[in-house]
Amino acid sequence: MGLHQPSKKTVNKVEAMVPGSAEILRHPMWEVLRQPDRVLEKKESWLGRLAPDIQRIVFANESKLSIRKALTSPDINEKHLQQLEVRAGFDSVTCLAILLAENIYSYHGNNAIHISDSLYRALLVSCAFDSYLLMAGYLFQCFRDRLLNQVVVDDMRLDLDTLDFSESAFLLCRELWKLMGDRKIGWGREDRACAGVQLLRGKFGFDAMWGLSLLHVPVAPNSENFHKATKEYERARKLRDWGLHNLRNGIVGSIPPHDIW
């Protein structure tokens, strides 16, 4: 999925059978995944095809020249990342993928871990909508194989091997339905997207924050900080297992046991 460009005839045929699919098939997200190494050449044009509210986050106005210029990935801070996450959808995910590709290919990955975590959350929230649950695993595979696997910073990489993304999307979707049923959030897409990010960032408890987290695993046994990093990873893994157990069994609002901390 996403590695080949369907012909116009094929897109039209699929659109006739599944209305709305043409917008997905023509989305620049697939171009980013096919050609992440061409990000310097394509960045501005890719970003220019995204929704205006996404563009407002990543484009800075050059007042002296009366032009706008996209921020570089090292300039992206936590505020930008959160603004993109709460707009979860293909446009925000694509924007984060562009920033991650730029960081990997042009800036030696110095901000790659933070952008990857944000991309993961935005993708997970995007896939937690009922209409995307069935394709969650395929979408994650595309991002994993084309981008996320390349992220290694300070002898740490993303722990993608122990992650069941399809299950995570389902569990997040179920938690969002519970919040809507309890009338804690609205029924609109923006309400659900915002609440999804809040769940992953811990606003509604520790269960989803830890259970659906993306871990970082040390990769250099001979490095000075390997022992400390390994202990931190093992603790985070226990917290994720605890959170997953609670989510699978419908237990929410509890606090991790002291022996994990």
| Each residue's pLDDT tens digit, 39-64 | 999 999 999 999 999 999 999 866 55
Mean residue pLDDT across the chain: 88
Cα–Cα distances in angstroms (integers) from residue 156 to residues 14, 37, 90, 110, 261, in the given order: 42, 22, 27, 12, 21
Task: Give the per-residue pLDDT at 1.
Answer: 44
**Hey, what are 75's tokens?**
């300039």
Helix, strand, coil in percent for the chain, rounding step 5 = 60, 5, 30
**Hey, what are 231's tokens?**
């202990």
**pLDDT exceeds 80 at position 16:** no
Task: Give the per-residue pLDDT at 7.
Answer: 61
**pLDDT exceeds 50 at position 2:** no
- Report the SS3 class of residue 241: helix
Task: Give the per-residue pLDDT at 173.
Answer: 95
Task: Give the per-residue pLDDT at 57.
Answer: 95
Rounded Cα distance between 260 and 242, Å, is 9
Rounded Cα distance between 91 and 95, Å, is 6
- Looking at residues 129-153, what average pLDDT do you find? 92
Cα–Cα distances in angstroms (integers) from residue 49 to residues 15, 28, 52, 123, 171, in the given order: 20, 7, 9, 19, 32
Model confidence over 217-250: pLDDT tens digits? 999 898 888 999 999 999 999 999 999 999 999 9
Per mean pLDDT, which of 61-75, 91-105, 131-145 is the most reliable? 91-105
- Are 157 and 117 a contacting pair, CB within 8 Å? no
First to last CA, the chain: 40
**pLDDT exceeds 50 at position 214:** yes
**E strand or H helix at 111, and its extent?**
none
Q: What is the pTM of this model?
A: 0.90
pLDDT band at 215 (very low <50, low <70, confident <90, very high): very high
Task: Give the per-residue pLDDT at 76.
Answer: 93
Q: What torsion do the CA atoms of 231, 82, 197, 242 make, to the nearest 10 degrees? A: 10
